Structure 1
Amino acid sequence: MTHADGEICVVYDSADFRSLYSVSPQARRNLLKVPLWIFLVGIFFSFGDGNLGLNLLLGAWPFAIGGLLAVVSIYWLIPFRQVQLRRKSGWDSPLCVSLFPDGVHTRHRNQDTQFHWSAIERVVSRAGRIYIFTTPVCALILPRRFFDNDAAFSEFAALASLYWTNGRERELNDVQSREPKVILP
């Protein structure tokens, strides 16, 4: 739902949370660590049984399958569970997001939050969603389905990118203007 003042209101579903894996390298790394560790534990246990070489890897294959099942579970079940928990704690009502030159304002019946652009990690528009990252693995997700049309979605994405870029440049200029200057006689 796009409001006249440019505010967009969204309610997340599990596909929105799952989509973070496609745009966040850190989230992907975290997801892939699980099967790697399970496989390494399998190798450790196989080595403990006296296996070497190919037998070592063959002994660890059940752990590799377990690791893959863990990834599938994490990929599909955790976002679904996040949506359930959010609904139980009152987050099933819309989260409204507004962009301003100095930051992003979110409004919800449980809380209002202001993120200055200097606190935003990055802004990404991909696969029908706008991601405003507050940490490397956490983002405000604005799906295309909540905008009135493609033009409104594209305009909001462009404005978010512009404000973020300008906010970062302003921050860099502020830091440079505060650097001590040495004046030599």
Structure 2
Amino acid sequence: MKYFLLACTFLLLTNPTIAQEFEPIFNGKDLSGWTIHGTEHWYVEDGELVCESGPDKEYGYLTTDKTYKNFVLSLDFKQESNGNSGVFIRSSVEGTKIEGWQVEVAPLGSHTGGIYESYGRGWLKKPSPEDEKALKPGEWNHMVIRVEGDKVTSWLNDKKMVALEDQKIGQATGSIALQIHSATEGNEVKVRWKNLHIKVLD
């Protein structure tokens, strides 16, 4: 019994999806509280947030009007067509150039859950090939991102993907941003999002 209680306590302390009180950052009706950057399409359909390639088929972003430093973000995504996207933390956007760190959302084998620094150092940490198999292509996937101080940890479908400690990330504050990747003709991007909730830690 003693070891069972210790195990339960460990789960409560380390799993951000347990015993946490989250608030929605997407109301399921419109894009209130968010700003579109670029010409790609962002809209609400059946209570879900949808992004898909627009006329320029370039990078686009949807950023929160609020900024966040330490938080746990919980969301669901489903990749349709080419599902290349991502979730940025502590980010800022000028035009369609973003500064910040992306937790990758991409097709199978393209490092979903890994952490990438745009216009900077590139890949900071990728999940193992075995862990990447947690992605369910064409189905709803659950992602959790915990950002606290210098530390960023990602989970995909309850599988821990990466944990990174980085001083540069620790110094930043900024928006949460959803990305739509650039596309080629006949390979447009489309991703659906829902259940976007946040728990502020500071």
Q: Do they superpose with TM above 0.5?
A: no
**TM-score normalised to structure 1 length:** 0.28
- Counting strand residues as a fraction of each chain, which structure ranks higher? 2
After TM superposition, the score normalised by the length of structure 2 is 0.26
